C-alpha cells in the first residue's frame, strides 16, 4: 500500500518498547518486527536503546544486544521505511550519531527535557549536516506551560529541526492540555509538529486525536502497546481509528494486526496493561521508563513501589535521574523504620 498520507506515523516499539522488556531485544526479534513493519508500509521505524543511543548502562539498563547491531539489522530489511534513532544529549554523542548514519539511518530525534532545548543545538545541527530528517523531541511536556513549550520549540526550530514533538513522557497530560500545547506550537513555529503519548491514564488515543485535531501531522505509536509504562498509542488501533475518520496513514491495517498478534505479542514479557504502577506514573507525572526501576527498588527495600513513584513525582524527577529511585526508596524505608513502621 502506498500513496497519500495525511499523518506520518513513527513506530517506536523497537526503541520505547525496549524499556518494557528490560532492553533485551535480539537481532532476530528486531529483524522480524522491522520487516513486518516495512511490509505494512509504516514510514518511520525508531530503533535504539530505550534511552537512546549509548543508553546501555547500569543506570539506564544494560542492553542484551549492542544497539548498533540492532540498527544495522533493521536497516537491512527495510525496503521503504526510514529507520531512525533517538539521541539524548549527555547520554548519546555526535560520535554515536555518526556511527548510526554509517549504518543507514535516515532520521534522528534529538530529545531533551522540556526546558532544556538549548543543549540540543550542536546535535540538531550535526544531524542536519548528515542529511537526516531531524526532530526536536521535548520530553516531559506536562511539566511546562504552553508558552514555555513554544519558547523551547522555537529554539529547536532555530537550530534546524524539521519537526518538533510534544512528548508526554509520563502519560500525564489530559486531552485539553494536549490541545492547548499543540495549538500554541501551531501558531508559533513553521515546522511540522508531532506528538508522542503514553497510556498510563488510558488517554493515549484521546490525546493523540486531540493533537491531530489541532494540527499535529507526525504521530508516534507502539504496536501492541510495546512501550514504557502502559505503552504508547497502540499503532494498529490508531490506524483503524484514523481510517474510520477518513484520515490516511498509508499503512496496511491487516498487516499491522497480524504483526501485533503473531510477532510482537510473544515478545512481551507480560501483556501491556494499566497496572497500579503505570497508573501512578501518569497520576504523579513520572517518567514512564521509571516503572521497572521502581518495582525493583521496592522489592529490594520491601516497600510499596507506588510510594516511591509518588515521591519522585513530588520531587519532579526527570529522565536521567534514575539513580534517585534507589535514594528515595532508602529514605522511605529509613523514615518508616524510625517511626516503627514497615
Distance separating alpha carbons of residues 53 and 60, to the nearest angstrom: 12
169 marked among binding-site residues: yes
CA 66 to chain centre: 19
158 marked among binding-site residues: no
Percent of the chain that is helix, strand, coil (3-state, to 5): 50, 15, 40
Q: Are 52 and 111 in contact (CB under 8 A)?
A: yes
23 is catalytic: no
Look-up of cell digits 529514605 = 331
Q: Are 162 and 135 in contact (CB under 8 A)?
A: yes
First vs last C-alpha separation in the chain: 58
Alpha carbon separation from 215 to 65, 182, 206, 237 (Å, rounded): 38, 7, 15, 20
Q: Which residues does 100 contact at the CB level (< 8 Å), separation at least 6?
A: 48, 53, 68, 71, 85, 108
Q: Which three cell numbers stand for residue 161?
A: 529541526
287 marked among binding-site residues: yes
Q: Which of 19, 23, 49, 142 is catalytic?
A: 19
276 marked among binding-site residues: no
Dihedral Cα 220, 225, 228, 232, nearest 10 deg: 30
Q: Are 83 and 47 in contact (CB under 8 A)?
A: yes
Q: Which three cell numbers stand for residue 201?
A: 491514564
Which residues are annotated binding-site positions for Mn(2+)?
16, 196, 198
Which residues are annotated binding-site positions for substrate?
15-16, 169, 196, 287
Residues catalogued as catalytic: 19
Which residues are annotated binding-site positions?
15-16, 169, 196, 198, 287
Amino acid at each position: 500500500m502506498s500513496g497519500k498520507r495525511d499523518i506520518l506515523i513513527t513506530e517506536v516499539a523497537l526503541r520505547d518498547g525496549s524499556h518494557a522488556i528490560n532492553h533485551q531485544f535480539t537481532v532476530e526479534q528486531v529483524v522480524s518486527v522491522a520487516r513486518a513493519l516495512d511490509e505494512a508500509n509504516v514510514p518511520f521505524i525508531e530503533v535504539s536503546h530505550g534511552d537512546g543511543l549509548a543508553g546501555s548502562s547500569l543506570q539506564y539498563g544494560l542492553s542484551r544486544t549492542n544497539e548498533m547491531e540492532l540498527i544495522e539489522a533493521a536497516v537491512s530489511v527495510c525496503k521503504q521505511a526510514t529507520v531512525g534513532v533517538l539521541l539524548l544529549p549527555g547520554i548519546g554523542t555526535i560520535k554515536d550519531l555518526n556511527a548510526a548514519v554509517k549504518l543507514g539511518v535516515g532520521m534522528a530525534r534529538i530529545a531533551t527535557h522540556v526546558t532544556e532545548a538549548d543543549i540540543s543545538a550542536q546535535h540538531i545541527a550535526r544531524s542536519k549536516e548528515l542529511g537526516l530528517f531531524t526532530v526536536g523531541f521535548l520530553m516531559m511536556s506536562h511539566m511546562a506551560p504552553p508558552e514555555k513549550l513554544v519558547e523551547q520549540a522555537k529554539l529547536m526550530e532555530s537550530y534546524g529541526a524539521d519537526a518538533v514533538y510534544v512528548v508526554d513522557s509520563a502519560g500525564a497530560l489530559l486531552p485539553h492540555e494536549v490541545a492547548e500545547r499543540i495549538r500554541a506550537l501551531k501558531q508559533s513555529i513553521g515546522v511540522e509538529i508531532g506528538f508522542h503519548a503514553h497510556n498510563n491514564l488510558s488517554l493515549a488515543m484521546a490525546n493523540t486525536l486531540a493533537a491531530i485535531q489541532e494540527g499535529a501531522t507526525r504521530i508516534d505509536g507502539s504496536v501492541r502497546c510495546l512501550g514504557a509504562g502502559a505503552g504508547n498509542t497502540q499503532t494498529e488501533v490508531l490506524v483503524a481509528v484514523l481510517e474510520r475518520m477518513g484520515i490516511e496513514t498509508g499503512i496496511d491495517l491487516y498487516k499491522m494486526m497480524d504483526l501485533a498478534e503473531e510477532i510482537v505479542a510473544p515478545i512481551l514479557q507480560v501483556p501491556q496493561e494499566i497496572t497500579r504502577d503505570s497508573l501512578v506514573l501518569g497520576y504523579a507525572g513520572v517518567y514512564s521508563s521509571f516503572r521497572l526501576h521502581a518495582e525493583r527498588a521496592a522489592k529490594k527495600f520491601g516497600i510499596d513501589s507506588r510510594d516511591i513513584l509518588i515521591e519522585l513525582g513530588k520531587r519532579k524527577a526527570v529522565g536521567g535521574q534514575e539513580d534517585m529511585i534507589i535514594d528515595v526508596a532508602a529514605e522511605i524505608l529509613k523514615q518508616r523504620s524510625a517511626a516503627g513502621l514497615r
